[in-house]
Amino acid sequence: MIEHRPDAETAKKELVAKYPSKVGKKRGNQIQINHVAEDGTVPMVLANSRTAPGIISQRGCTYAGCKGVVLGPTRDIVNITHGPIGCGFYSWLTRRNMTDAGADGENYMMYCFSTDMHEQEIVFGGEKKLEAAIQEAYDIFQPKAISIFSTCPVGLIGDDVHAVARRMKEKLGINVFGFSCEGYKGVSQSAGHHIANNQLFRHIVGLDDEIRGSKKFRVNLLGEYNIGGDAFVIEDLLKRCGFELVATFSGNSTYGQFANSQTADLNMVMCHRSINYVAEMMEKKYGIPWIKVNFVGAGASAKSLRKMAAYFEDKELMERTEAVIAEEMVKVEASRKRHAARCEGKTAMIFVGGSRAHHYQELFTELGMKTVAAGYEFAHRDDYEGRDVLPTIKVDADSRNIEEIHVEKDEAKYRNDLSARKAELEAKGYTFADYKGMMPEMDSGSLVIDDINSWETEKLIEMWKPDVFCAGIKEKYVIQKMGVACKQLHNYDVGGPYNGFAGAINFYKDIDMRVNSPVWHLTKAPWQTVEEDVAVAEPVPA
């Protein structure tokens, strides 16, 4: 029997030893062995820091975070990439954001729009071409809004996309706005999220004050991107419980929802990393409090729904919510028991995103599996250690370059009733604007690695031989060539949804399939001897 539990200290030393000394020193601060102290504090992880040149990282760029992640799932804005053709092409339908526009609704998500900059624009400037491209887009499509996404050369040659946006907004009479989301800004996609948040808030939120739908229990869901239909599951749940979902940022969303989102009574933050900025700005300007929720995992979904219902302190809402949870949990438990029997005791590693590496641990726990190592691709320290560390995070040069919008209270629209409710509830122990991060919920002794790279991924698999390794498309086939199942947590291997109760059931089934598939035992032909170091999906001792 192979021992699958190497010593974390030794492992860390081995990982770091490979690098040139400067790189190794830095990686040493980005790799931590978790230790949850009695007061709940955890070790400091260096995060949101530059990837060393030459390292084969999981990370993408600011443009990807802005155009691909945050604005990608909104269906009725014509998103024009200003730059050479590649960036627009690669971000075209590649994130599996689903949307439901109805039979004839406005939906541009299947289109890719680009100014396709050529050398001439690089030399003489691209503003004219951009302006003409916006006009052409308007003439053909007549959308309600057009947005512009800047790629690397745009910043360098000095095109003022915001000035072009202002001119065209005035000329066309529709909303036109730009994003300075050049790929080289920041250190990862994260900067792009922030830039996207800023411009959504600046240019759309607050434009429409009409209350539509129910006047009661109005909520926004922030940081949910409808990968594989996740948002559809949550929409259904909220409706059945009796909540009025005003806007989702930005899964299955429309321009109109953003414009109307300030009419909500509560913001719920799902992916803390990518969207907390909007939550914070909306609270400052409009007085809408925010809470952290999580719909990954059946238990977490129930907890989040209960917390939402508790906020409104309405008996009927709470009862309906409990009824929905009870109904769903019957189905969940039946499925969970069946699959947990086959998955219990197995191990997982999760290296992905800015919140998923934390939240998906819930689902593995429900299956009786242990997450032995985890880390984020583009998160910050607060996502690891909790928001309590926010005041201690040093702002480096890369972060300082990303705009912080100064937001002031909107006296006319500010919801004094909501801030009063917040104070009242807080007095009773209800927590707002609180995120404890990933590490306090992980075992002491587990490995936490920020911005993991291909070398470390392979070493971890060799050393630990986990039963499933969760990552993205670039890592997927490296992991599987090693005989270990990979579950993609960006595109779900074209599976899902994995949110809510129905999603949990899908996940249990998919993980069971992945870790118990007979194919892992067929790596070797009958005439080949099985080498000791070949990972096959044999049961791991608990």
Partner 1 sequence: MTLLRHTPKGEIKPRENLVVNPAKTCQPIGAMYAALGIHGCLPHSHGSQGCCSYHRSTLTRHYKDPVMASTSSFTEGTAVFGGQSNLLAAFETIFDVYDPAVIAVHTTCLSETIGDDIPQITKKAIDDGKVPEGKVVFHANTPSYVGTHITGYANMVEGMVKYLTKSTGTKGEHAAVIPGWVEPADMRELKRIVTALGVEHVLFPDTDGVFDAPMTGKHVFYPKGGAKIEDIARAGDAKVSFALGPIATRAASEKLTALHGVEGEVLDLPIGLSATDRFVDAIRKAYGIEVAEEITNERGKLVDLITDMEQYLWGKKVAIFGDPDQLIALTEFLQTLGMQVRHVVTGTEGNFITKRLTEINPEANVKVGGDMFLLHQWMKNEPVDLLIGNTYGKYMARDEDVPFLRFGFPILDRQGHQHFPTVGYMGGIRLVEKILELLMDRIDRDAEEPRFELQM
User: Which residues are designated catalytic?
Assistant: 61, 64, 95, 193
Look up residue 128 and give its two tokens: 């004219």
Q: What is the DSSP letter of 102?
A: T
- Asked if residue 113 binds partner 1 (CB under 8 A), the reply is yes
- List 12, 26, 59, 339, residue binding partner 1 (CB under 8 A): 59
- Nearer Cβ to partner 1 (31/64): 64
User: Binders of partner 1 among 79-108, rule CB under 8 A?
Assistant: 80, 83-94, 103-104, 106-108
User: Binders of partner 1 among 482-511, rule CB under 8 A?
Assistant: 482-483
For the chain, the C-alpha Rg in angstroms (whole number) is 24
Side by side, the strands of the sheet bearing 347-351 are 31-33, 447-449, 370-375, 347-351, 468-471, 485-488
- Nearer Cβ to partner 1 (163/390): 163
Torsion angles phi and psi, residue 100, rounded to 5: -125, 100
- List 338, 443, 524, 541, residue binding partner 1 (CB under 8 A): 524
SS (H, E, C) 212-280: CCCCCCEEEEEEECCECCHHHHHHHHHHHHCCEEEEEEECCECHHHHHHHHHCCEEEECCHHHHHHHHH
User: Binders of partner 1 among 385-404, rule CB under 8 A?
Assistant: 397-398, 401
Q: How far is CA 315 from CA 306, 338, 364, in A?
A: 12, 35, 33
- Asked if residue 29 binds partner 1 (CB under 8 A), the reply is no
Distance CA 48, CA 51 (A): 9
x-or-dash string of contact with partner 1, 159-188, rule CB under 8 A: -----------------------xxxxxxx
- Asked if residue 407 binds partner 1 (CB under 8 A), the reply is no
- Asked if residue 132 binds partner 1 (CB under 8 A), the reply is yes
Q: Is 130 helix (H, G, I), strand (E, B) or coil?
A: helix
Instruction: Find out whether 79 and 91 touch, Cβ atoms under 8 Å.
Output: no
Instruction: Find out whether 220 and 93 touch, Cβ atoms under 8 Å.
Output: no
- Asked if residue 299 binds partner 1 (CB under 8 A), the reply is no
- Nearer Cβ to partner 1 (148/222): 148
- List 44, 112, 172, 425, residue binding partner 1 (CB under 8 A): 112
Q: What's the min distance (Å) between Cβ of 89 and partner 1? A: 4
- Asked if residue 474 binds partner 1 (CB under 8 A), the reply is yes
Look up residue 44 and give its two tokens: 């400091």
Q: Which stretch binds partner 1 (CB under 8 A): 119-127, 168-176, 381-389, 507-515?
A: 119-127
Instruction: Find out whether 146 and 178 touch, Cβ atoms under 8 Å.
Output: no
- Asked if residue 137 binds partner 1 (CB under 8 A), the reply is yes
- Nearer Cβ to partner 1 (480/516): 480
- Nearer Cβ to partner 1 (285/476): 476
- Nearer Cβ to partner 1 (121/383): 121
Distance CA 321, CA 315 (A): 10
- Asked if residue 469 binds partner 1 (CB under 8 A), the reply is no
